[in-house]
Amino acid sequence: MKRIISGNESIALSFGDAGGVFASGYPGTPSTEVLEEMARLGAVYCEWAPNEKVGFESAMGASIAGGRALATMKHVGVNVAADALMSFSYTGVGAGFIVMVADDPGQHSSQNEQDSRNYAKFAKVPMLDPSDSQETYDFVRTGLELSEQFDTPVFLRMTTRTAHAKGYVEQREKITPKVGEWVKNVPKNVMLPNYGKIKHIQVEERLLKLKEYAETTPLNRVEMRGTEIGILTSGVAYQHVREAFPDASVLKLGLVHPLPEEMIREFAGKVQRFMIIEEMDAIFEEQIRAMGIRIDLGKGPISYCLEVDSEIIRKAAGEKETSAMAPVQNLPQRPPIFCPGCAHRGLFSILAKLKVFVSGDIGCYTLGALPPIGAMHTCICMGASISAAHGMAKVNAVAGRAEKPVAVLGDSTFFHSGMTGLLSLVYNNGNALVIVMDNRTTGMTGGQENPGSGQVLTGNPAKQVNIMELAKVMGVENVVEINSYDLVATEEAIKKGLETPGPYVLVDRNPCILRYRVKNPPLKVDSETCTGCRACLKAACVALGLRDCGDKPKVAIDPNICNGCGVCSQLCKFDAMSKG
């Protein structure tokens, strides 16, 4: 049956069809839909892990126990899982193992633009880079076979445009999952130095065998057309290349690590202009230059930043630009913002008012950094809010600065890697106020379950971890619940937390209004009472707006958008808002 599905959906479908037994991962755009779709399909056991390292390790165990396994994550998740990756490369697998990584060129929804192909080189494991949904489907099966044939974890690398773009997919025959033996093999699986040294030699030998394989596998193919231009490319860039130069010859790499040196040399020798088109880093180019092959066009005119498209490729190759009108200038920007009714809005309006230093983290609440709120001052990686605040406080003590830092993070990020930061804060006599916005979902990625939500990925009930109890057990003496919709009480609680020396934890337990479909009646503004002072606009809520009203614009509330949370009415000094 033919269907039109995204690359991520293809992975879920294909893993089930290819006899997959276990899948685990942590949500992160653009990787999240793989496990969501797998849960929907219901053919394979799958779960959310608290973080990518745990997900990778669980899949690793599944592979060792003889089940074909998959770990999913976004590019930055590999940094978290890298400890397991680097040594699992040494031990090799039991049953086939794929680590699916979704890169985000263009940084549509990420904190950086790292190119995961570097990890394949670093970990000395093969990497597949599909260019559309059908190839993604096919590469999952091939990847599992490759993993078993060469006794290695295999990377399946997606990018935003292969993960989310939809195209046609034809399914192949279904393989019934077979579980292999659960073998005790100490020299293979115990990476003590004496065993690890032997395994390293085997890894280098494996890489040589993979290089031979790369020369002949149909994963890599030469499409000979004209000899004037020859382009080496992979992933979604292949599609853009075909669009930009339909008559050019193409060396399309499906296996992007290790590279097929002889194939490349032969192809480059057959064409007059040899070009390399790759998104982000110059991984192919650097290796191919080292092979001593002449490259006529590489990274020079194509940036290391952002995505490529057919227009960028054409321009880089010296073709005429497509004529288009200039984009309309000076339009008001429309950045993402807290949903109307979101509990984060109340908290951040208080943090902004108190002008404290907020050590932030990754989640919807990161939007609190944007104007007009501007009340988050660092956000670097998952879980860093508490640990970075701890370091800041220690330096503040040295500098004689009295200010206590505030760490803000969500429930899912707390479970991911915030917990260990809190442990350090307690253990090392730290001094920070920690605010956990426990809305019982992994919000920014679309509302996934987590250890505090009471459900597993498939929707079945699960043990619900209580963050307040957890913080107490970890040794925090002051753990207080707050309600961010009550601005006065929240301000008092924050002030008390700042005045009390040592670790202090506040937990807001209001649910995510989007995930749990919370809908309150809208508020309305009495235009007689409203003075047009704009104090409420600091809430940065899209339900609010100014409308012409005599000589001074006054505030109006859009009843279709307002979720009745009451934050704006508490910011109003004239009591102009009321329940509709």
Partner 1 sequence: MNIFNIVISGVGGQGVLLASKVFAESALASGLDAKQNEVHGMAQRGGSVTSFVRIGDKVYSPAVIAGTADLLIAFEPLEALRYVHFLKPGGRLVYNTGTINPSTVASGMAVYPKDVEEQIVRCCTNSHAIDALSIANKAGDVRAVNMVMVGSVIKNVPLDAKVIDGVVKTLSKGKGVEVNLSALRGGAAG
Contact residues for partner 1, defined by CB under 8 A: 2-4, 29-30, 32-33, 108-109, 132, 160-161, 164-168, 236, 239-240, 242-243, 307, 309-311, 322-328, 331-339, 364, 367, 370-372, 444-446, 534, 537-546, 558, 560-561
Shortest Å, Cβ 161 to partner 1: 6
Q: Indicate the SS3 state at residue 114.
A: coil
Nearest residue (CB) to partner 1, 310 versus 455: 310
Structure-token pair, residue 400: 């004689």
Matching residue, tokens 């080496």: 232
Shortest Å, Cβ 17 to partner 1: 20
Shortest Å, Cβ 164 to partner 1: 6
CA distances from 55 to 52, 62, 75, 82, 148 (A): 5, 11, 14, 12, 20
Instruction: Give the per-residue SS3 of 257-282.
Output: ECCCHHHHHHHHHHCCEEEEECCCCC
Asked whether the beta carbons of 526 and 576 are under 8 A apart, the reply is yes
Nearest residue (CB) to partner 1, 328 versus 398: 328
At position 298, the amino acid (one-letter code) is G
Nearest residue (CB) to partner 1, 59 versus 512: 512
User: Which residues fall within 8 angstroms of residue 132, CB to CB, at 6 or more apart?
Assistant: 7, 162, 165, 167, 236, 239
Q: Where are the alpha helices (DSSP H) in 465-538?
A: 467-473, 487-499
Query: Helix 261-270 vs helix 193-216: angle between axes, to the nearest 10 degrees?
Result: 30
Please give the Cα distance from 477 to 471 (Å, whole number). 8
Cα end-to-end span (Å), the chain: 52
For residue 68, what is the DSSP state?
-
Nearest residue (CB) to partner 1, 224 versus 291: 224
Shortest Å, Cβ 384 to partner 1: 18
Asked whether the beta carbons of 284 and 260 are under 8 A apart, the reply is no
Q: Indicate the SS3 state at residue 46.
A: strand
Nearest residue (CB) to partner 1, 123 versus 539: 539
Positive or negative, the CA dihedral 198, 199, 203, 205 is positive
Shortest Å, Cβ 123 to partner 1: 27
Shortest Å, Cβ 295 to partner 1: 23
Q: What is the DSSP string of 286-309?
A: HHHHHTT---SBSSTTS-SSS---
Chain length of the chain? 580
Shortest Å, Cβ 237 to partner 1: 9
Shortest Å, Cβ 106 to partner 1: 8
Nearest to 131 by CA among 102, 103, 163, 108: 163
Nearest residue (CB) to partner 1, 230 versus 421: 230
Shortest Å, Cβ 135 to partner 1: 12
Nearest residue (CB) to partner 1, 103 versus 148: 103
Shortest Å, Cβ 168 to partner 1: 7
